Amino acid sequence: MKASVSQQHLAHGLSVVSRAVSPRNTLPVLANVLVAADEGRLRLSATNLELGISCWIGAQVEPDFAITVPARTFTDLINALPNDTVALTLNIKTQTMTVRCGASVTDIKGIDAQEFPPVAAPDLAKAMQISVTDFKEMIQQVAFAASTDEARPVLQGVALTVSGEQISLAATDGFRISVRKAILSNPVSGTMNAIIPARALTELARIATDGEENISMVMPPGRGQVVFHLKDVELSSQLIDGNFPDYKVIIPRTLKTHTILTTASLLKACKQAEIIAREGNNVIRLNIQPGTDQPGEVEISAQTEETGSSDIKVDATVDGPGLVVAFNVRFLREVLDVIKTPNVALETNANNTPAMIHPVGSDDFTHVIMPMHLG
């Protein structure tokens, strides 16, 4: 059994699926990538039983071609080959795949494809369509706020809510909340709620290319799973079972001090202050000062006994009483990194209550950040 494929296409396909490989899993086949014929194309698949990624690439391939080979070995080999045609030959008896390219011939020992977890094809007729560009931005503005603490699996996920024409994503780690909403071009009937692992969405954003128009999303009934389908790639993920916190009760309804700054200047100031703050406990202070005869300003300062101190002043438009409030500088920098508008609004009540950050001129994105103790 044989297959012939471009080295560039094969290397790209392996880079897409290899992030789902789990080398530490107890099942040896899960450290492998499935290489198989699928309706005249070559399908590459990898899974760790929670996350699965498949990629289809153009190839000349015989119908019964199927084997799993060690993902790292195969990927490193293909990346080292010249930009030429790669010939794959499969010996079923020995479960060995021979890889030929130019003057190079390599034999790789594999595991029978029958041992690879079956990949069920989703019913795309019932799929919801989401704009690739919108969904990638939604993921980037939300997933970073999910928790990395394995003791709280629900917070490692992103809450997806779909109702009619509106879709929203929300994530929280207990110290901050990110919520992003968008309008679907094709409304759905009824409502949909799920908690999707943040890692799965991050991988989806990584592999989805801007040239594609839509992502098809489907949740097969009874499988506790979500499947995202693109033109040549499919990503499936187990959903997280549990109750997501009611984050809406934390979002402040009224705010006393409204501060507008240029996003770039505040981000630059945070990056400078972080150089000092990271040597301590990441605390920076924001002294928000309304202007009288001149514009207002925000003084951003950091101080640690080991390193020294930093003080940066940024012009701002301040409406409301002045305030000194402390934040985790990494949290502040991470949200500013995903705000696309020229100006950003920081809205506060007191130094011990949640603050709200959102892009000026857009109501689609809301970020709530808890202050730190001033001490």
Q: What is the mean pLDDT of residues 151-165?
A: 94
Q: Give the pair of three-digit tokens for residue 259.
A: 């501060």
Residue range 56-71, pLDDT digits in tens: 999 999 989 999 999 9
Q: Position 48: which residue type?
A: N
Residue range 204-227, pLDDT digits in tens: 999 988 777 889 999 988 889 999
Same domain, 134 and 69: no
- What angle in degrees, to the nearest 10, is found between the helix axes of 71-80 and 7-17? 150
**Domain span at 202:** 124-248
Q: Identify whether the C-beta of residue 70 lies closer than 8 Å to the C-beta of residue 111.
A: no
**Is residue 375 situated within a structural domain?**
no
Q: Are strands 343-348 and 355-359 parallel, antiparallel or unpaired?
A: antiparallel
pLDDT score of 124: 82
Same domain, 177 and 103: no
Domain final position from 71, 98, 115: 115
pLDDT score of 181: 96
Residue range 266-315, pLDDT digits in tens: 999 999 999 999 988 899 999 999 987 778 999 999 998 888 999 999 99
Tell me the three state secondary structure of residue 374: coil
DSSP-assigned beta bridge partners for residue 287: 299, 324
Q: What is the pTM of this model?
A: 0.92
Same domain, 234 and 275: no
Same domain, 75 and 54: yes
CATH number at residue 188: 3.10.150.10
pLDDT score of 375: 66
Domain final position from 222, 248, 274: 248
Cα–Cα distances in Å, from 218 out to 153, 179, 184? 22, 22, 15
| One-character DSSP codes across 64-131 | T-EEEEEHHHHHHHHHHS-SSEEEEEEETTTTEEEEEETTEEEEEE-B-GGGSPP-PPP-GGGPEEEE
**Is residue 20 situated within a structural domain?**
yes
Q: Identify whether the C-beta of residue 46 lies closer than 8 Å to the C-beta of residue 27.
A: no
**Is residue 171 situated within a structural domain?**
yes
Residue range 94-115, pLDDT digits in tens: 999 999 999 999 999 999 999 9
Separation of alpha carbons 154 and 244, rounded Å: 6
Q: What percent of the chain has pLDDT over 90?
A: 81
pLDDT at 337 over 90: yes
Rg (CA), the chain: 25
Separation of alpha carbons 124 and 329, rounded Å: 43
Same domain, 264 and 334: yes
Same domain, 267 and 356: yes
Same domain, 296 and 206: no
Domain final position from 69, 92, 115: 115
Sequence length of the chain is 375
**Is residue 157 situated within a structural domain?**
yes
What total of structural domains would you count in the chain?
3
Same domain, 137 and 237: yes
